[in-house]
Structure formats: C-alpha cells, structure tokens
Amino acid sequence: MSDVILEVRNLKKYFPTKKGQLHAVDDISFTLERGKTLGVVGESGCGKSTTGRAILRLQDPTSGQVLFQGKDITKFSTHEMRNLRTEMQMIFQDPFASLNPRKSVSEIIAAPLRLHKLCKNKQELERRVISLMETVGLSQRLMNTYPHELDGGRRQRIGIARALAMDPSFIVCDEPVSALDVSIQAQILNLLKKLQHERGLTYMFITHDLSVVNYFSDNIMVMYLGKMVEYAPSEELFASPTHPYTKALLSAIPVPDIHHKKERILLQGEISSPIDPKPGCRFAPRCAYARPECFEVEPKVYQVSPRHKVACHLCADQGLPLAESSQGN
C-alpha cells in the first residue's frame, strides 16, 4: 500500500513585477510517497526552486494546497509552521552562501537544536552535534573550524548535518551537488542515498543535471516555464520520453553505449516570457511539432501509462486518455 507523505494540488506561485505577474509556478500537482525521491528537472528559471520553497512555505504559495501527512499546511499559522520545521528541511545549492561565516561548524549544526530546544543541557547538545558530524562523515576535530576553512564537499556535509539535526522526514535538496567538483559530487550523492536508506527520508531532488536525477530518483517531474510537462517513473521517462521538451533534454545527455547512438535535438526559438504568459502551450514557440492549436489552447494532461503523464496536444492525436487529476500523479 502506498504511503503518501506529500500531496501538492494546483500549486501556484506568482511574483508581482512592474511588467505584470510572473508565473514562476503555475498549477503544479503531484504526490510523493514516503521514503522515495522525486527528481525535479528543467532549465534555469522554470520554477524548480520556487516549487520547493513554496512547499516548505519559505515563500507562501499564491494558491493551491500542500498536504503534508494529510494536513493542508498552507493554512498553518506561523506557530504551527515553526513546529513543522522539524519535519521538513532544505539543503541548498551553495553551502557557502547558506552557512553563517562567523559561526563554527559545531555552532552551525547546534543552531536548530538550540532554537527548537531539543537538548536538555550543553553535554547533550555536544553529544548530538558530534553524532550528527559522524553521520555525515565529518571528523570531530573540525568542530571548531569555520566554513571558509573547509572545501565545498565538507561545507555541504555541514548543510546536510544541519538539515538532519531535527530528524526530519522530508527534505528538499535544491541542486545539492551542482556547485561541487565532479569527484566530490558522487560522495555527497552516496551520502544522501545512505541517509535515505537508514532514516526512511523522502526527498524532493531539484537539479538541471539529468544524469544525476536518473541515478537518484524514483520518479521525475519535468518542468517548463512554471508548468509540469511530463511526470513518470525514472526508468520509464528515460526509456520512453514523450513530451518534445523531455526528448530534447534527454538527447543532450551523452551515452557511453556506442550501439545506442542518439541524435541531439537542438531547441530553436526563444523561451517565452513567464510574465503574464500567452495562452497555449508554453513550449510551443520552441517545439518542432507545434501547430496552431498549440499556440491557442493549453494542453490537457494525458495518461501514457498508469504512472506516466504528459501535457501535450500530440497525446490527443495518439488517442491517449486524459489523466484523472489535472497534473502530476
């Protein structure tokens, strides 16, 4: 039986700008099962981080519902949200920017424990900090060092220890390895996997790197200009990408298998503006298959297989049935 920890329904986040409303996230819906990873991919500016931040209410959604363990947290008071912070955490892309340079490693990791009064005394606090450092592979002798004295990998380990301090069940990992050297990336990804296995963590894993997301995710949501264009189990998405945008994204990943050569699909045309977007499919101006309808009518979401959904008019031609919910799984 599936155990849904998070359900996002018709989430929207608009930012008012001088030129109009910027539709950063525009009607996204999906569910996430406990202990699983949802990879969120798409080009820079498509709304990945804003989706993560709106779910955690680091930025309040414009509309929509976020049900965490069955409760709609968009209605939670500041006090209720503060209590919920122990359950929901975020790991950021740039560990250096997200760590206070004036605090030592132990002070940074201890901060959430202090804030939420999770330790009875100084000794317990120190024990917890040492244990968290061990968990993320940081030597105890680094306790009194400062972020600038450490390399990127160790800094990200501090960010992970800080996120784990309150024993959360759900973590939004926002490009956690993209600022790191390739050799360090694998170490951090392996650590995140190990922690997930040991603690039953649920991840929303945001990245623009499809090879990382393939390795890491159970399901993948592809976003384009604030919209979900495709959602599928990882293997299925890689084996049979359906949306023309997903196909183009996947065609850009180099494959080591010489028998399985694929042609790179180069996207032509300009990305549309996310400010007061025009009707129709947002990808239409860059889509090789676009026809007049695509510029006029927003595509519905079609069911390609039980857990594979695509928002594209081409699916209607193939006679595919509409998905039950408007978006996501």
Ligand X SMILES: Nc1ncnc2c1ncn2[C@@H]1O[C@H](COP(=O)(O)OP(=O)(O)OP(=O)(O)O)[C@@H](O)[C@H]1O
Return residues touching ligand X (CB under 6 A).
15, 22, 24, 42, 44-50, 208, 274
Q: Which C-beta is closer to ligand X: that of 52 or that of 241?
A: 52
Q: Which C-beta is closer to ligand X: that of 24 or that of 204?
A: 24
Minimum CB separation of residue 15 from ligand X in Å reads 4
- Of 219, 243, 222, which Cα lies nearest the Cα of 294? 243
Coil, strand or helix: which one is 250? helix
Q: Give the list of residues 6+ apart from residue 161 with CB closer than 8 angstroms, or none.
A: 109, 132, 133, 135, 136, 138
Q: Which C-beta is closer to ligand X: that of 109 or that of 250?
A: 250
Q: Which C-beta is closer to ligand X: that of 132 or that of 222?
A: 222
Q: Which C-beta is closer to ligand X: that of 15 or that of 146?
A: 15
- Of 209, 168, 161, 202, which Cα lies nearest the Cα of 185? 209
Minimum CB separation of residue 289 from ligand X in Å reads 24
Strand order of the β-sheet with 308-311 is: 88-91, 170-174, 202-206, 37-41, 219-224, 227-233, 308-311, 301-305
Minimum CB separation of residue 271 from ligand X in Å reads 10
Minimum CB separation of residue 121 from ligand X in Å reads 40
Minimum CB separation of residue 162 from ligand X in Å reads 21
- Of 179, 181, 187, which Cα lies nearest the Cα of 157? 187
Whole-number Å distance between alpha carbons of 168 and 45:
28
Minimum CB separation of residue 321 from ligand X in Å reads 30
What is the rounded radius of gyration, in angstroms, for the C-alpha atoms of the chain? 21
String of DSSP letters for 43-105: STTSSHHHHHHHHTTSS--SEEEEEETTEEGGG--HHHHHHHTTTEEEE-S-HHHHS-TTS-H
Minimum CB separation of residue 265 from ligand X in Å reads 20
Whole-number Å distance between alpha carbons of 248 and 251:
5
| 299, 70, 220, 310 alpha-carbon torsion, rounded to 10° | -20
Q: Which C-beta is closer to ligand X: that of 195 or that of 250?
A: 250
Q: Which C-beta is closer to ligand X: that of 48 or that of 308?
A: 48
